[in-house]
Amino acid sequence: MFVILSIILSCMRRLGCRKVADAVLEDIRRRTELFVREGNRAPSIAVILVGEDAASMTYVRKKAEAAASLGFMHFQYSLDADVKESELLTLIDELNERDDVDGILVQLPLPEGIDEDKVIDRISPEKDVDGFTPVNIGRLAIGKDSFVPCTPLGIMKTLSYYGIELSGKNVTVIGRSNIVGKPMALLLMRHGVDATVTVCNTRTKDLRAHTLNADVIIVATGHPGTIDSSYVRDGAVVIDVGVNRVEDSTREKGFRLTGDADYDSFSDRDVSITPVPGGIGLMTVSMLMENTLQAAIRRRGR
């Protein structure tokens, strides 16, 4: 009896994101239909891919598929890896000017030799559906309305869907990237969210001390095995943002996807964790669609 009870009590909870993403997409579909029925053209997004990075190509394809499934207009620009920075900037200028483009996304990372900051800064903040421009990040930092980066936004949606309370909770974010870690911390600190946030980086002295103190851990380092169950206390929530390709000759493609957390190590623990695949990656795409619909609504009538 005791053994059965302790197995039930110490069971990992899988926070799958498929149903969360589907619910978000369904809601976007409904609001898009309404928007179009009101006489507006369908929302539209321009996606720029530079080079042939395999993972980036996959992400861009998934974004295109999601846009198509919602009836959004989608313009794809695939540029050679050796494209001149000035050509890329000229393309962004053109897209900024076009009335039939609501959102612009430049898939990152960009090849060496292209100044990522300069490229992002060139996107009009009103069309910055990634929420990466200094204007949007700045607005997020001071609590103003802005486009919010899609992965942190998707994480907030997932936490809310699963009823995970954040107010007064300790949240440890591992990773300080402009795409995930920094905007994530800003969202968690917002009035109304009110989490107590710790942001760790590669130089953090005792990572385990910070994660063991956390009610929620968000791991976004891009390194498999950054944490395992020894880093997590009972009852905590782990949000795994990593999507890493690791060699696996048993798979048809020669690799499998794994997160930044050692998922299997949690199997007999009282911990809630998002899987990879089937986790936060799905939310990133859905929230991009949400931001694109928002961009179209704000630009209505143009």
CB of 47 to ligand GUN, least distance (A): 8
Cβ atoms 173, 185 nearer than 8 A: yes
Could you tell me which stretch among 26-34, 78-86, 99-107, 191-199 binds ligand GUN (CB under 6 A)? 99-107
CB of 133 to ligand GUN, least distance (A): 11
- Pick from 46, 92, 101, 105: which binds ligand GUN (CB under 6 A)? 105
The two beta strands, 244-247 and 255-258, are: antiparallel
Cβ atoms 279, 259 nearer than 8 A: yes
- Pick from 44, 151, 226, 292: which binds ligand GUN (CB under 6 A)? 151
Q: Given 102, 107, 127, 169, which residue is catalytic?
A: 107
Q: 41 vs 62, which CB is nearer to ligand GUN?
A: 62
Query: For the purposes of burial, counting CB atoms within 10 Å of the CB of 234, is it exposed (0-12), middle (13-18) or buried (19 or more)?
Result: exposed
**Beta bridge partners of residue 197, listed in sequence order:** 171
Helix, strand and coil content of the chain, in percent to the nearest 5, comes to: 40, 15, 40
Quick check: is 128 catalytic? no
Q: How far apart are CA 64 and CA 71, in angstroms?
A: 11
Quick check: is 294 catalytic? no
Contact mark string toward ligand GUN, 75..94, x via CB under 6 A:
--------------------
Quick check: is 130 catalytic? yes
| 193 makes contact with ligand GUN (CB under 6 A) | no
Using only the alpha carbons of the chain, give its radius of gyration: 20
Site for ligand GUN in 56-75 (CB under 6 A): none
Q: 215 vs 240, which CB is nearer to ligand GUN?
A: 240
| 108 makes contact with ligand GUN (CB under 6 A) | yes
Q: For the residues of 178-201, what is the DSSP string, one character each? A: TTTHHHHHHHHHSTTT--EEEEE-
CB of 231 to ligand GUN, least distance (A): 24
CB of 278 to ligand GUN, least distance (A): 17
Q: How far apart are CA 164 and CA 116, in angstroms?
A: 35
Q: Given 102, 127, 128, 130, which residue is catalytic?
A: 130
| 171 makes contact with ligand GUN (CB under 6 A) | no
Q: How far apart are CA 111 and CA 174, in angstroms?
A: 25
Q: How far apart are CA 118 and CA 126, in angstroms?
A: 17
CB of 107 to ligand GUN, least distance (A): 5
Q: How far apart are CA 44 and CA 104, in angstroms?
A: 9
Supply the residues annotated as catalytic.
63, 107, 130
Point out which residues bind ligand GUN (CB under 6 A).
105-108, 130, 150-151, 179, 284
